Structure 1
Amino acid sequence: MKTSLLLSFHRITLILIVCFIFYVLWNLKGKTGGMRDQTLDYFFSRSFITRMDAAEVSWSHAANSRSRLAEALTGPSLMIEADIVLRGRDPKEPIMAHPPDTDSDITLREWLEGVKEYGKGIKLDFKSMEAVSTSLVLLQEVLTEPYRPVWINADIFSGPGGQIGPLEHHTFLSVVTHLPSHTVLSLGWTTGWTAGTDNPGYSWDMVHMMEKICRDLKHPVTFPVRAALLAKSFSQLTWLLKQSDRYTLTVWTGHSDEFSLQDLLPYREEFATSRIYFDLPDSLRARISSAQ
């Protein structure tokens, strides 16, 4: 009898362990079978944020020089954004600069070496294809930690008011999809916004095209969307976000854009707070975080 009870206990224990492993694996994947975004898990596990709320994630921008990088690394921001171009003179190598700049006092390799000593997440923004392949080789060579948030950003479709040509999406994805599966692909649209005019929102065609090329990806995907265009795009972006648990939104703004807090709150009400990042001024981000 004791032997039988012991065997039954072992079977139940084994079943519970298998169920737990299945639960963990299921939660690491989105509805379409890929990896979900682990950015918040990383920051929460290190007590950088107090709850699984993407509005608690703060941002530094254009860390494209030694001084700006040092400021971002020692400051309170959790995510550091920087732009990458190929140097406009010899040696032709990836540097940190935003067009039309073609030179910088810091290369991508030096930038990554500086970042790896800190627990910050990074977002690398590509404006052209010529620097992508070399940069991603450097990224995997220098920044080898498996869990640090690494976001790779590019505009791959034309969006509302967009004047600058996007990167060719098939070419870009053919390169970045070889990155580790936890890497977040930040895939957006070129956009524009003009004061005093009727600026259009993201159309159904735009979100359908984006979802079509993202549905079979295995990486988590965040869609950078312009705050001033959200009020006119609620139905479209809501539909897009509901297509997979791998998808999130990252709300950003131009310096002269005009929008209200009420334009953003419906998204907080519709989705879990872990699904919408707010790459916005800290004062506004704090108001969003405290709004219930």
Structure 2
Amino acid sequence: MRKKLLNFLSISTLLIGCFTVYVVWSLRERMSERTLEYFFSRGRIERRDTVEVSWSHAVNSRSRLTEALTGPTHMLEADIIMRGGDPREPIMAHPPATDSDITLREWLQAVKEHDIGIKLDFKSLEALSPSMLLLQEVLSEPGCPVWINADILPGPGGRATPLQPQSFLSAVRTLPAHTVLSLGWTTGWTAGTENPGYSWDMVHTMEEVCKNLKHPVTFPVRAALMAQSAPQLTWLLQQTDRYSLTVWTGQDDEFTLQDLLLYRKQFDISRIYFDLPDSQRTELSQMGRDNN
């Protein structure tokens, strides 16, 4: 009788362990796809394909916010700093600006009434902690996709000083598990020169920083540097399904969409977002269909 009981307990423990692994794996899958699923489930995109997601940038004023909220955009990108004068509070502005006509609190209140995602970009740690408190207060219920962006490591050609990784991650650790951390490298690009790509040291260091995080992570990568970084970025994406890429471009950068198409062929179309001008996104989408 005792032997049967022990066998039963052993089998039960095994089944519980397997179920736990399944649940954890399923959660990781859902975390990595939540942004795309949000827009698809609301009929805002026709396919579960990241190239369909559109972006508005520098939504740092009341007029820009009104324009973006009344248009077809899916994701709003905005910059947060602390007001240079009184009252000291997080506002929507990009350095070297020190003031704005809209605070973060007002911005979040306006956005929460719409089926739209937000990407908040931090260039310094000063505004981070008070902004996290506002996010938890104003967006207390799970709703729109929320991405928190910062460059936390030096990258190819980067001259700006990145935010200290552990200080940044410590400030955002209390955010809900579905919040996407957009963690990047400082970069630069110069026309007419041989610009270096993301090195093995850069991706290995990023993986070391991110491997134990509970949040899904997207890595913003510069389109003009992706052709020379394929092995490194491929390796990084292979480490976990929690990871994705978000491709962006500088105004004067030069690259070919064919370089980006290689990534769409190699990885699931739910794992590489394209924060590009609408004309380039549309062309990239058509290229992908033509090659299927």
State the TM-score, normalizing by the size of structure 2. Answer: 0.90
- What's the counterpart of residue 215 of structure 1? 211
- What's the counterpart of residue 28 of structure 1? 27
Q: CA deviation at 1:138?
A: 0.3
* 1:175-194 matches, cutoff 5 A: 175-194=171-190
Q: CA deviation at 1:144?
A: 2.2
- 2:133 equivalent to 1:126: no
Of 55, 64, 86 in structure 2, the residue corresponding to residue 68 of structure 1 is: 64
Q: CA deviation at 1:26?
A: 3.3
* 1:102-121 matches, cutoff 5 A: 102-121=98-117
Q: CA deviation at 1:145?
A: 2.9
One-letter amino acid of the counterpart of residue 230, structure 1: M
C-alpha separation between the residues in 2 aligned to 1:20 and 1:48? Answer: 34
Q: CA deviation at 1:262?
A: 1.1
Of 145, 149, 153 in structure 2, the residue corresponding to residue 149 of structure 1 is: 145
> Contact conserved, 1:64 with 1:106, CA < 8 A, in 2?
yes
- What's the counterpart of residue 279 of structure 2? 283
- Matched residue SS, 1:70: helix
State the TM-score, normalizing by the size of structure 1. Answer: 0.90
Q: CA deviation at 1:178?
A: 1.2
Q: CA deviation at 1:263?
A: 1.4
Q: CA deviation at 1:291?
A: 2.1
- 2:97 equivalent to 1:101: yes
Of 45, 51, 76 in structure 2, the residue corresponding to residue 49 of structure 1 is: 45
C-alpha separation between the residues in 2 aligned to 1:217 and 1:146? Answer: 20
Cα distance 1:22–1:215, how it changes in 2: closer, same or farther (>3 A)?
closer
- Matched residue SS, 1:291: helix
C-alpha separation between the residues in 2 aligned to 1:276 and 1:59? Answer: 14
C-alpha separation between the residues in 2 aligned to 1:61 and 1:143? Answer: 21
- Matched residue SS, 2:206: helix
RMSD between superposed Cα atoms in Å: 1.7
One-letter amino acid of the counterpart of residue 106, structure 1: I
- Matched residue SS, 1:26: helix
- 2:91 equivalent to 1:92: no
Q: CA deviation at 1:27?
A: 2.6
Contiguous gaps of at least 5 residues in structure 1: 1-18
Cα distance 1:47–1:168, how it changes in 2: closer, same or farther (>3 A)?
same
Q: CA deviation at 1:177?
A: 1.6
C-alpha separation between the residues in 1 aligned to 2:286 and 2:214? Answer: 33
> Contact conserved, 1:35 with 1:218, CA < 8 A, in 2?
no
Q: CA deviation at 1:25?
A: 5.8
Q: CA deviation at 1:117?
A: 1.0
Q: CA deviation at 1:289?
A: 1.6
C-alpha separation between the residues in 1 aligned to 2:179 and 2:286? Answer: 29
- Matched residue SS, 1:273: coil
One-letter amino acid of the counterpart of residue 151, structure 2: D
- Matched residue SS, 2:220: strand
C-alpha separation between the residues in 2 aligned to 1:235 and 1:289? Answer: 23
Q: CA deviation at 1:137?
A: 0.3
- What's the counterpart of residue 14 of structure 1? none
- What's the counterpart of residue 237 of structure 2? 241
> Contact conserved, 1:161 with 1:192, CA < 8 A, in 2?
yes
Runs of 4+ in 1 over 4 A off after TM superposition: 19-25
Percent identity (aligned): 70
C-alpha separation between the residues in 2 aligned to 1:36 and 1:262? Answer: 25
Of 48, 73, 81 in structure 1, the residue corresponding to residue 77 of structure 2 is: 81
- What's the counterpart of residue 3 of structure 1? none
